[in-house]
Amino acid sequence: MNLQNTNKKIIVEDWGLISYAEAWQKQEEYLQHIVKIKMENRQREVKEPTPNYLIFCEHPHVYTLGKTGTPHHLLLNAEELSQRDIEYYPINRGGDITYHGPGQIVGYPILDLDNFFTDIHRYLRTLEDVMINTLAQYAIKGDRIMGATGVWIEPSSPGAARKICAMGIRASRWVTMHGWALNVNTDLAYFEHIIPCGIMDKAVTSLAKETGKEMDIEEVKKWLIYFFSKEFDANIIGI
């Protein structure tokens, strides 16, 4: 029996407020550690189980551009970014440009998909399901737009469609990193300086804006963990 394929445990860590660069480096270290185990397992008779992580964090103001994105979707120059104390990173996830900042729940699942299912399309749809189910706890109907990864509200209503959760991932040897940014108490004004995800004709929203009140971020995290464990049929360790 291949023990690696039986590990359904997910370790939850909360890194709190952390710079984007530091979080990116730590994610890479976690991913490379898991990949190293997988490579060494090829030579082992008894396989070592690979760990899985779900990381929560918050970033200071930063714009990140995915590898398929367009730099022109950032509407500020270097001087303007500096004046507003906003960082900018072209990074190695999929997708276009997005914003991270205080009031968001950023989630970085670092999973060995060999422990779950080896299907990137299904993985992204499963992350969307986690968001949609979480939003439902606040009487918000999240939905999808075909060909536009993430979670939306009223996606089929002309002029009313608005994005509440952006997603972009990277996978190496079926190990994932990067993830989602769910707008909870986010200052949405920061999205005015980019063309979010390269989409010009749709707005951005947050849980606070949709409900009309500031949200308890720790409560939202608990719902995310609950639905993450359900959708991935996993055992949660940690928080």
Residue reference for tokens 């995915």: 66
Catalytic residue status for 57: no
Structural domains present in the chain: 3-237 (3.30.930.10)
Residue 2 in this model has a pLDDT that exceeds 70: no
Question: How deeply is 176 buried, as exposed, middle or buried, from its count of CB atoms within 10 A (0-12, 13-18, 19+)?
Answer: buried
103: left (phi over 0), alpha (psi -120 to 50) or beta: left
What is residue 20's predicted lDDT score, i.e. its pLDDT? 97
Name the 3-class secondary structure at 128: helix
Average pLDDT over every residue of 150-176: 93
Cβ atoms of 81 and 87 within 8 Å: the answer is yes
DSSP H helices in 75-187: 78-83, 120-136
Spatial separation of the C-alpha atoms in residues 43 and 74, rounded to whole Å: 47
Neighbours of 113 (CB within 10 A): 19
What is residue 115's predicted lDDT score, i.e. its pLDDT? 96
Span 142-154, pLDDT tens digits: 999 988 899 999 9
Cβ atoms of 63 and 86 within 8 Å: the answer is yes
Catalytic residue, chosen from 97, 124, 181, 197, is 197
Span 88-121, pLDDT tens digits: 999 989 888 999 999 999 999 999 999 999 999 9
Residue 199 in this model has a pLDDT that exceeds 80: no
Cβ atoms of 137 and 225 within 8 Å: the answer is no
Residue 200 in this model has a pLDDT that exceeds 80: no
Residue 124 in this model has a pLDDT that exceeds 90: yes
E strands, 20-145, where? 53-58, 62-65, 87-90, 97-100, 104-110, 142-145
Average pLDDT over every residue of 216-227: 98
Name the 3-class secondary structure at 213: coil
**Across all residues in the chain, what is the average pLDDT?**
93
pLDDT band with cut points at 50, 70 and 90 for residue 5: low
Residue 1 in this model has a pLDDT that exceeds 70: no
Spatial separation of the C-alpha atoms in residues 78 and 73, rounded to whole Å: 14
The β-bridge partners of 13 are 55
Structure tokens at 234: 């996993």
Span 8-26, pLDDT tens digits: 999 999 999 999 999 999 9
